[in-house]
């Protein structure tokens, strides 16, 4: 059935901006409209209507950023009947209006075409590596060696180290998963460390060795004029990024902070300067109080926050998918979850915890 769903995806992509007809598509697939709709949702974890909406709005953001087309024309060319309906949809997903995004493009979460059939392996092409090296060279010209790169997690740290992308700069991993388990404030003080260690079911000294030591051995070893935060677009990375920014506020860091938004499958990178001032309040609102913040944030973090708050609900997209696939063995179910929900960025450990919680 995965082959059929991939054909549905291919057909949908070919007719994304036209007057879409589920009846016509189902006729091409050889199944009823209901069956096509049901199977699409069952296998991809998202409704066909939602998939189309996300793809249209994401592709429209590229047009906003890279062309001078009128916003009305972009709206019409991407399947919206009016500029007003387009603006509402754009703001609902990205947290900013199309006009605001055009005036100041900032990182947002990519909604790429789904690939159900294949287990694709992504290898960094030379253009992406050169792009990262160019960014690093520009920073070195400006700040010399007074640069600290903080990368989201050990996996990214190892990949970048293997590719020798950091040059002579100092760098450290941020080994946490702030999107799971409870937290508190201040960050990295005794109560915080004890709570996070308990949540991860590790001894306090192990938590401090894995999470704190790599940061403190670099961050406080000398004064850095520039810190570069390398974090992905998904919810997992965004909650880690939010925590790191709140912590830099907490210690009154006074240098320049760059956010390098990494598309971890393709290694595309977007550079953004992030001024401090709002992130402790954001951290408390989102990760402690579990609510949408009042402060305006960049689109990719807005998307991450919405996904994080969705995950707090007992019935969410992930738990519904698990419930609908109870017949699968855990290993197969985890593989599917990793593929179906890349926007959450959860790993196998987090998915196994969710599966076990549902099974109790």
CB contact at 8 A, 298 and 106: yes
Q: What confidence tens digit (pLDDT) does each residue in 213-231 have?
A: 999 889 988 889 999 999 9
Whole-number CA gyration radius for the chain: 21
Residue 268 has pLDDT above 80, yes or no: no
Q: Do residue 89 and residue 162 come from a single domain?
A: no
Provide the pLDDT confidence category of residue 360 given band limits of 50, 70 and 90.
low
From 275, 262, 265, select the one nearest 231 (Cα to Cα).
Answer: 262
199 and 292 assigned to the same domain = yes
Whether residues 73 and 144 share a domain: the answer is no
Q: What are residue 264's phi and psi, to 5 degrees?
A: -70, -15
> Do 175 and 276 sit in the same domain of this protein?
yes
pLDDT band at 99 (very low <50, low <70, confident <90, very high): very high
Quick check: is 225 in a domain? yes
Domain count, the chain: 3
**What local confidence, expressed as pLDDT, does residue 266 receive?**
65
Question: Is 121 among the domain residues?
Answer: no
Phi and psi angles of residue 258, each rounded to the nearest 5 degrees, phi first: -105, 135
Beta-sheet strand order (sheet of 226-232): 170-174, 147-152, 226-232, 256-263, 268-273
Note the pLDDT of residue 121: 43
With 90 as the cut, is the pLDDT of residue 105 above it? yes
In a domain, 109, yes or no: no
Query: Is the Cα torsion angle 181, 187, 188, 193 positive or negative in sign?
Result: negative
274 and 214 belong to one structural domain: yes
The pLDDT, as a whole number, for residue 127 is 58
Q: What is the pLDDT of residues 23-81, one digit of tens each?
A: 999 999 999 999 999 999 999 999 999 999 999 999 999 999 999 999 999 999 999 99
The single residue listed with the structure tokens 């001024």 is 275
Q: What is the CATH number of the domain that holds 97?
A: 1.10.10.60
Position 124 confidence tier, pLDDT thresholds 50, 70, 90: very low
Name, in order, each residue with C-beta under 8 angstroms of 193's C-beta and a sequence gap of 6 or more: 204, 207, 208, 212
Instruction: Tell which residue, 229, 212, 251, has the closest CA to residue 301.
Output: 229
Same domain for 194 and 288:
yes
Q: Which residue has the higher pLDDT, 290 or 19?
A: 290
Q: Are residues 231 and 340 in the same domain?
A: no
Give me the mean pLDDT over the 10-16 stretch. 92
CA atoms of 41 and 328, how far apart (whole Å) = 17
Tokens for 22, please give them. 């589920």
Domain that holds residue 292: 126-309
Same-domain check for residues 142 and 192: yes
Is the model's pLDDT at 178 over the cut of 70? Answer: yes
- Mean pLDDT of the region 279-299: 97
Same domain membership, residue 327 and residue 302:
no
Q: Is residue 115 part of a domain?
A: no
Q: Is the pLDDT of residue 9 over 60?
A: yes
Q: Is residue 241 part of a domain?
A: yes
User: Are 230 and 349 within one domain?
Assistant: no
Mean pLDDT over residues 223-248, rounded?
96
Does 119 fall in a domain? no
Residue 165 and residue 304 in one domain: yes
Band of the pLDDT at 265, cuts 50, 70, 90? low
Residue 213 domain-assigned?
yes
Whether residue 111 lies inside any domain: the answer is no
CA–CA dist 143, 136 (Å, integer): 10
Residue 248, Cα to own-chain centre: how many angstroms? 21
In the predicted model, what is the mean pLDDT of the chain? 90
pLDDT of residue 154: 87
> At which of 88, 103, 118 does a domain end?
103
Q: What is the 3-state secondary structure of the chain?
A: CHHHHHHHHHHHHHCCCCCCCHHHHHHHHCCCHHHHHHHHHHHHCCCHHHHHHHHHHHHHHHHHHHCCCCHHHHHHHCCCCCHHHHHHHHHHHHCCCHHHHHHCCCCCCCCCCCCCCCCCCCCCCHHHHHHHHHHHHHHHHHHCCCEEEEEEHHHHHHHHHHCCCCCCCEEEEECCCCCCCCCCCCCCCHHHHHHHHHHHCCCHHHHHHHHHHHHHHHHCCCCCCEEEEEEECCHHHHHHHHHHHHHHHHCCCCCEEEEEEEECCCCEEEEEECCCCCHHHHHHHHHHCCCCCCCCCCHHHHHHHHHHHHHCCCCCHHHHHHHHCCCCCHHHHHHHHHHHCCCCCCCHHHHHHHHHHHHC
Same domain, 345 and 261: no
Give residue 108's pLDDT band: very low, low, confident or very high (50, 70, 90): very high
Alpha-carbon distance 301 to 109, whole Å? 8
């Amino acid at each position: 059935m995965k082959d059929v769903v991939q054909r549905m995806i291919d057909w949908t992509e070919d007719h994304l901006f036209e007057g879409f007809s589920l009846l016509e598509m189902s006729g091409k697939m050889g199944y009823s409209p209901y069956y096509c709709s049901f199977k699409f949702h069952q296998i991809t974890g998202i409704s066909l209507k939602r998939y189309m909406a996300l793809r249209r709005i994401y592709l429209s953001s590229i047009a906003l950023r890279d062309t001078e087309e009128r916003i009305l024309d972009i709206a019409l060319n991407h399947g919206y009947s009016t500029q007003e309906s387009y603006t509402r949809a754009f703001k609902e997903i990205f947290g900013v209006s199309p006009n605001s995004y055009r005036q100041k493009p900032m990182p947002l979460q990519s909604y790429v075409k789904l690939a159900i059939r294949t287990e694709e392996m992504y290898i960094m092409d030379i253009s992406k590596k050169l792009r990262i090296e160019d960014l690093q060279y520009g920073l070195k010209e400006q700040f010399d060696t007074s640069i600290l790169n903080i990368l989201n997690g050990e996996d990214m740290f190892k990949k970048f180290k293997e590719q020798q992308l950091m040059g002579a700069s100092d760098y450290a991993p941020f080994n946490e998963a702030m999107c799971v388990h409870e937290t508190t404030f201040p960050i990295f003080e005794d109560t915080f460390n004890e709570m996070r260690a308990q949540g991860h079911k590790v001894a306090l000294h192990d938590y401090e060795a894995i999470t704190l030591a790599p940061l403190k051995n670099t961050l406080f070893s000398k004064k850095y004029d520039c810190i570069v935060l390398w974090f992905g677009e998904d919810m997992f990375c965004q909650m880690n990024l939010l925590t790191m920014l709140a912590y830099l506020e907490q210690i009154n860091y006074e240098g320049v902070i760059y956010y390098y938004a990494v598309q971890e499958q393709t290694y595309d990178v977007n550079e953004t300067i992030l001024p401090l001032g709002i992130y402790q309040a954001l951290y408390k609102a989102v990760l402690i109080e579990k609510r949408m913040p009042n402060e305006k944030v960049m689109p990719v973090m807005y998307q991450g926050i919405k996904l994080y708050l969705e995950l707090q609900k007992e019935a969410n997209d992930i738990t519904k998918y698990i419930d609908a696939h109870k017949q699968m063995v855990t290993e197969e179910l985890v593989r599917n979850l990793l593929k179906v929900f890349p926007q959450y960025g959860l790993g196998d450990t987090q998915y196994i915890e969710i599966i076990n919680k549902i099974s109790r």
